[in-house]
Amino acid sequence: MSSNRSLEPSALSLNDLPWQVKFSNDRCTLCGQCTAVCPVKAIELGVFRKRTLKPSIRRQADQGVAQDVFYGIRQKTDVAHACIGCAMCTLVCPNDAIHPEKNPGLDRMKFHINQQGVPRRRGGRRNAAGSILDRIKFTRISMLTDPALDAGRHEFEMRTLLGRVLSPRENMKRLKEKGWIPPVREIYPLIIGGMSFGALSPTMWEGLQMGVAYLNEEMGMPVRMCTGEGGCPPRLLRSRFLKYVILQIASGYFGWDEIIHAIPHMKEDPCAIEIKYGQGAKPGDGGLLMWHKVNKLIAAIRGVPAGVSLPSPPTHQTQYSIEESVAKMILSMSMAWGFRVPVYPKISASSTSLAVLNNLTRNDYASGLAIDGEDGGTGAAYTVSMDHMGHPIASCIRDNYLNLIKIGKQNEIPIFAGGGIGKNGNLAANAAALIMLGASGVQIGKYVMQAAAGCVGTEEDRCNVCNVGICPKGITSQDPRLYRRLDPEDVAERVVDLFVSFDTELKKIVAPLGRSTSLPIGMSDALGIDDVAAAQRLSIKYVV
Amino acid sequence: MTHTDFIYIPGKREEKRIPSRVLEEIIHQQIHSGQRHLEIEAFGQHGIGGRLWDAGTDPVNIRIIGHSGQRTGSLGNANTCIEIMGPASDDLGWLNAGARIVVHGHASNGVMNGAAQGRVFVGGSIGARGMTMTKHNPRFDPPELWVLGTAGDYFGEFMAGGIAVVCGHGSQPEEKVLGYRPLVGMVGGKVFVRGSAAGFSQKDAKQVSLTDDDWQWLETGLENFLKKTGRMDLLATLTVRPEWMLLTAKSPHEKADSPNRPDMQGFRKQVWDRELGPGGLIGDLQETVPGTIPVIATGDLRRYVPVWEQDKYIAPCQAACPTGIPVQDRWAMVRADNVDEAIAMGLAHTPFPATVCGYLCPSPCMAACTRHQEGMPPVSVRNLGRAGEQVPPPEPPEKTGRKMAVIGAGPGGLSAAWHLTLNGHLVTVFDTGSVIGGKIASVIPGSRIPENTLKTELARIKALIPDIRLKQSIDADAFARIRDEYDFTVVAAGAKKPKSLPVPGIELAVFANEFLSDAKTKKITPGKQVVIIGAGNVGCDVATEAHRLGARDITLIDVQRPAAFGKEREDAENCGAKFLWPVYTKEITEQGVMLQSGDLLPADTVVVAIGDVPDLDFIQPHLAVDNGFVTVDRFNRTSDPKVFAIGDAVASGLITDAIGAGKRTAQVIDQLISGKEVRETPAMPVMDTSRVHLAYYDPKTRPDDLSSCGDVCASCGRCRDCGICVAVCPESAIFRNDLGKAGFEYQVDPDKCIGCGFCKGACPCGIWDLIPNTPM
């Protein structure tokens, strides 16, 4: 920085930045790896002047003044190049000479990430570490009172139902009358939620799909993955792996012509169709794939020109009421596969979710409801939507489940929960808590990115550049120079690790409850929390 | 041993079953009293035959008839032999620490659960969870379980030691001899099985082949087992080696080394790609390259690439110079010891290198100098300019035969004439005055420019341009004649008509140009008190001259903040001149200047210095004018395509503005002559000085001579050829190419470069940039 620069309002010092690059000249070998790898060019080689005085008390002629020049790593302070804390520099540094540190409270940049009047947009998460799910304990440990189950030894039926289950009376009636019986899938309760081909890199997406196929075909785990809204590669549509896939349709309708063309050639029906009305990360806002990421491949799969930003409207066009939306969309999608495929909507968690659920209960074609809570992650959203919009998932799921109980349909229409599950690493505990609060299964996104591909994002506003295609791990980039850092095989391997270990952990939770033949959906008597208000709100036990 | 050797202990007394606790007491009393052979008729009592350590090392034989209860032989002692004449109930030999037990029938669940020593022979089959949690303490022989028939479900769970032999006798074809899901959690021990062990935990156990030692042990043991259980008839049937298999626990390393699932690479090849096609998911849409790329990549895989941008940008000094002199190029020549060339180069751009660059110019080049960014003094162009005084005029090139007229021999006109002459044209300069040089010669105080310097430079101009016609009367008709006679005419008549003030007594005042011009000839004495109306730089010159001529109380007044700046203002202030503003002149009287406020500023001389306007009388009939100035386009073309206008006739400006306009006009005229489209020489963008690194320069250095000035010039956008980039590049990817007469260039080897940008970061001149690589 120039020493006699003038100050403009957005002139920041290192001290004002959210992430500060700590650098040790003693250890640095000036190899250039850190500056080469930095995704935002936050650091560069700096030339520094070093003035050394060698004073003498004898004569003026004896005063020594030496000017030296040395090099080191310099952090830039302008908003466009502010360090994002990804620590790729630390990763590549051969001498452990450099690492970013979170500014513990002097971050002034947040007041300036609106240059040219554009509010901050980012990918990632809500950056709020707290989670009510982490605080829920499983307090019913059924020693001697229930069958003593051993997670390591016993066999468990870890499956859930996706689809409309008719009441026994109605089912018998239709059987007798040879009427239509809704399709139901028996699936694993941990679902990889909708992340589009485009939001994710091709290597990441292929890795996830490969892992899912492996889990199904080699491990016997009926894991399903949702495509997100961005179409589906034609080869997958025409393969037997399609049965592991939940196809998503959303307001942008990207890639649906390819899907329609593929229907006559499908070897298998897809697992289900998810109609996205909202997502937890940015309720009331549509999807957005920024032009950086719309390359030839993405464009081909989505059926759009390359190099343009692809916004999805916040709402489905041509649908003006909940009745119409639900009826029209679900019916169309059911019809497309001859009523053989479950179709369900996904909405953002909201204080109005009950209205949607009540509507679905009156519609036989509705196979379930997926609800995405405020902690959901995303590839791109306005910060204000991500940080301040939405509803926590726990109470929303609970309200909906209790409502189903009220109308006696808790075993008929499954609710799936998403948003922040495992955000602090406690995947199985969070999932089990939601299941016991009433969810039939859970959807995860960020957790998979972190566990299966090493996403460096944290709840501390680290990295969060998924939206602009510079993901240093190649997870959300469409740039071959980045996504080729990721091997689909490795991702698949990690997906398998993740699901297999989740399975063990989930068993460790349900075994002491004495449950092995079915998931403890809604088994809220097993739950406790050390907060009176939360206990009351969730109708679970208050424990201290 | 005969029946009579045994003490009979009934499990009933008076037709009532004795409680387990009482029977235990009775057995212990018998042992205490020295009995070593007990026959117990059991009625389901718990734990018979265990814990008989009171006998010391004496062997104790227990024979159980009737219904043995649960946990027979539990916590068994090594001296104990138990023979159960019928079937056994649950947990036979539970936590067995050495007892040998023979069962002549089936045994139900949990046989040997938790046992660490001892041996159990079962002449039938066993129930679920046999041989579970068994141990092997190296101080003792391992526990053994021999089963003639089959085992129930969950056999050998968490087995940590011991040997189990399951003969599978009497099993159905395809029957799982070890039951459902055996050996889950097995970490030690051996299991010999005759028959199917399908479904055993692959995660924990493995099948190994029997060694000869194993077989010998098994064969010997079988004979003993069959003898004890009274089934020697089966010896031949059971000792068929190929019918036996051996299962052992996997070691932790084996578990880790061979994860219990097929490898993903194989799955990708054989399942994934086979179903989807070569290249996998998107193999049909784009070429996919298998494998990963390194995080630090070279060549095409670099995200950013360095570029050496020599001569792509102009330095801020050159950009700021209205005459467009490439200042940084001249300093480069100085550094290369081409001092003469550097000095002479000035004449290619201006006829006044010493007069203007060296003295009169406010030096926008220095104001724009990058060195200001770090508070360092700019590189002084004064010395370089002044050194141009003694350079002989350039040789005029071959004549083109074209005739050009320049009206006005001021700096703008002389610049136009100079450059037109250097372009080979025949130039005639017309001026109404008696000397050439315009205001430089007539108005600017001698304190600001040594007389000799100006004389020398004017003489050089005369030497190059022979046809300068002075004292010409140029009226509208004369202008029309000139315009018709010459191919092109450049009007550089300046602004000689002083602007006046509409106030009473204005006739008492003297105009600045007149005052300055008279001052040069020393004909005037302005008196002690001088008021100057108009506090611009000309006003300052007046103040300085007035002071030189004896004035001591000098006031400059203005209606707005004084526009004076730089050297002129400094000189005026040094003469004690006061600046008053905003004040408004009401009238000028013999006493001085009366202000609208009513105050009187006493003055012996009042000078009006509020600017000059061109005298356009001779032009007006022929050319379009606007607001007192000749109308021109950005190429200084007037409404007449044969006539150009430059300098103060067009707009007030600096001397260097006029000189620059003269130079550019000569270029435009050449473009017109050669029939080219008139356009600006494509201006190079100005160097982004944030790319220039000043840390290399010592801020304490105050360069004075040419050589040290050359050294501290940051050479913005012009490679100093220092080779720092070569030294700094961590991959040795940069090399210098000698291009002979064309100079040199620095190049990057893409196969070595990692795109770190160190070259950019270190380059003192900002030549290197780092740009995103071409999208893939």
DSSP B593-645: EEETTS-EEE-SEEEE-S-EE---TTTTTTS-EETTEE---TT-B-SSTTEEE
Q: For residue range A332-364, list pLDDT tens digits in order.
A: 999 999 999 999 999 999 999 999 999 999 999
Mean local confidence (pLDDT), A302-310: 87
CB-CB neighbors (< 8 A) of A490 in chain B: 264, 292
Which pLDDT value is given to residue A517?
Answer: 84
Asked whether residue A446 carries a pLDDT value surpassing 70, the answer given is yes
- What are the backbone dihedrals phi and psi of residue A493, each rounded to the nearest 5 degrees, phi first? -60, -45
A151: contact with B, CB 8 A cutoff: no
A466 in a known ligand binding site: no
Note if the bond before B582 is cis, omega within 30 degrees: yes
Higher-scoring residue by pLDDT: A155, B658: B658
CB-CB neighbors (< 8 A) of A72 in chain B: none
Asked whether residue B312 carries a pLDDT value surpassing 80, the answer given is yes
Asked whether residue B3 carries a pLDDT value surpassing 60, the answer given is no
Which pLDDT value is given to residue B668?
Answer: 92
Cβ atoms B644, B608 nearer than 8 A: no
Q: For residue range A20-44, list pLDDT tens digits in order.
A: 999 999 999 999 999 999 999 999 9
Which pLDDT value is given to residue B259?
Answer: 63
From B128's Cα to the closest Cα of chain A, the distance in A is 14
Which pLDDT value is given to residue A1?
Answer: 46
Cβ atoms A376, A396 nearer than 8 A: no
Q: Is the dihedral of CA A239, A240, A243, A244 positive or negative?
A: negative
pLDDT band (50, 70, 90) for residue B258: low
Residue ranges of domains in chain B = 3-257, 403-495+614-673, 500-612
The residue of chain A with its CA nearest to that of B761 is A45
Give all strands (DSSP E) within B155-257, no chain letters.
163-166, 190-194, 205-208, 244-249
CB-CB neighbors (< 8 A) of A493 in chain B: 264
Q: For residue range B173-202, list pLDDT tens digits in order.
A: 889 999 999 999 999 999 999 999 999 998
Residue A40's nearest CA partner among A64, A67, A6, A17 is A17
* CATH numbers and ranges of domains, chain A: 14-118 (3.30.70.20), 132-542 (3.20.20.70)
Q: Which of B281, B373, B690, B716 to mutate to test the interface with A (most CBs of A within 10 A)?
A: B281
Mean local confidence (pLDDT), B443-452: 85
A89 in a known ligand binding site: yes
Q: Which of B157, B187, B295 to mutate to test the interface with A (most CBs of A within 10 A)?
A: B295
Q: Hey, is B530 helix, strand or coil?
A: strand
Mean local confidence (pLDDT), A78-92: 95
CA B586 centroid distance within chain: 65
CB-CB neighbors (< 8 A) of B272 in chain A: 210, 213
Which pLDDT value is given to residue A61?
Answer: 85
From B358's Cα to the closest Cα of chain A, the distance in A is 28
Q: For residue range B332-348, list pLDDT tens digits in order.
A: 999 989 899 999 899 99
From B752's Cα to the closest Cα of chain A, the distance in A is 12
From A271's Cα to the closest Cα of chain B, the distance in A is 18
Q: Which of A28, A30, A45 to mutate to test the interface with B (most CBs of B within 10 A)?
A: A45
Q: For residue range B389-431, list pLDDT tens digits in order.
A: 889 988 888 888 899 999 999 999 999 999 999 999 999 999 9
**What's the CATH number of domain B500-612, 3.50.50.60, 3.20.20.80, 3.30.300.30, 3.30.420.480?**
3.50.50.60
Share of chain B above pLDDT 90, in %: 73
**What's the CATH number of domain B3-257, 3.40.50.300, 3.20.20.70, 2.160.20.60, 3.40.50.620?**
2.160.20.60
Range 291-320 of A in CB contact (< 8 A) with B: 295-297, 300-301
A28 in a known ligand binding site: no
Mean local confidence (pLDDT), A182-195: 97
Asked whether residue B39 carries a pLDDT value surpassing 80, the answer given is yes
A517: contact with B, CB 8 A cutoff: no
Residue B244's nearest CA partner among B294, B190, B290 is B190
Alpha helices in B187-315 (DSSP H): 212-229, 235-238, 252-257, 264-267, 273-276
Asked whether residue A481 carries a pLDDT value surpassing 90, the answer given is yes
- B3-257 and B403-495+614-673 have identical folds: no
Q: For residue range A164-181, list pLDDT tens digits in order.
A: 999 999 999 999 999 999
A:B CB pairs within 8 Å: 172
Asked whether residue B2 carries a pLDDT value surpassing 50, the answer given is no
A37: contact with B, CB 8 A cutoff: yes
Asked whether residue B473 carries a pLDDT value surpassing 90, the answer given is no
Instruction: Say what the ipTM of the complex is.
Output: 0.93
CB-CB neighbors (< 8 A) of A219 in chain B: 261
A271 in a known ligand binding site: no
Whether domain B403-495+614-673 has CATH 3.50.50.60: yes
From B154's Cα to the closest Cα of chain A, the distance in A is 9
CA B521 centroid distance within chain: 66
CB-CB neighbors (< 8 A) of B185 in chain A: 152-153
Which pLDDT value is given to residue B4?
Answer: 53
Q: For residue range B76-105, list pLDDT tens digits in order.
A: 999 999 999 999 999 999 999 999 999 999
> Which helix (H) or strand (E) segment is B484 a member of?
helix B476-485
From B719's Cα to the closest Cα of chain A, the distance in A is 17
Q: For residue range A257-288, list pLDDT tens digits in order.
A: 999 999 999 999 999 999 998 888 888 787 77
Which pLDDT value is given to residue A5?
Answer: 65
* Per-chain mean pLDDT for chain A: 92
CB-CB neighbors (< 8 A) of B181 in chain A: 155
Q: For residue range B125-134, list pLDDT tens digits in order.
A: 999 999 999 9
- What are the backbone dihedrals phi and psi of residue B358, each rounded to the nearest 5 degrees, phi first? -80, -25
Q: Is the dihedral of CA B245, B251, B257, B258 positive or negative?
A: positive
Asked whether residue A209 carries a pLDDT value surpassing 70, the answer given is yes
Asked whether residue B1 carries a pLDDT value surpassing 50, the answer given is no
A287: contact with B, CB 8 A cutoff: no
Give the alpha-carbon dihedral of B645, B646, B649, B655, to 10 degrees: -170
pLDDT band (50, 70, 90) for residue A4: low
From A478's Cα to the closest Cα of chain B, the distance in A is 10
Lowest-confidence pick of A33-37, A58-62, B221-225, B754-758: A58-62
**Residue partners of B733: CB distance under 8 A and separation at least 6:** B748, B749, B750, B752, B753, B754
CB-CB neighbors (< 8 A) of A5 in chain B: 373
* Per-chain mean pLDDT for chain B: 92
Burial B210-219 (b: 16+ CB within 10 A, else e): beeebbebbe
Higher-scoring residue by pLDDT: B199, B621: B199
Which pLDDT value is given to residue A359?
Answer: 92
Mean local confidence (pLDDT), B38-60: 92
Residue B271's nearest CA partner among A541, A495, A489 is A489
Contact A486 B292 (CB under 8 A): yes
DSSP state of B261: S
Lowest-confidence pick of A138-152, A459-473, B722-736: A138-152
Give me the residue from B184, B280, B757 closest to A44, CB to CB. B757
Contact B286 A296 (CB under 8 A): yes
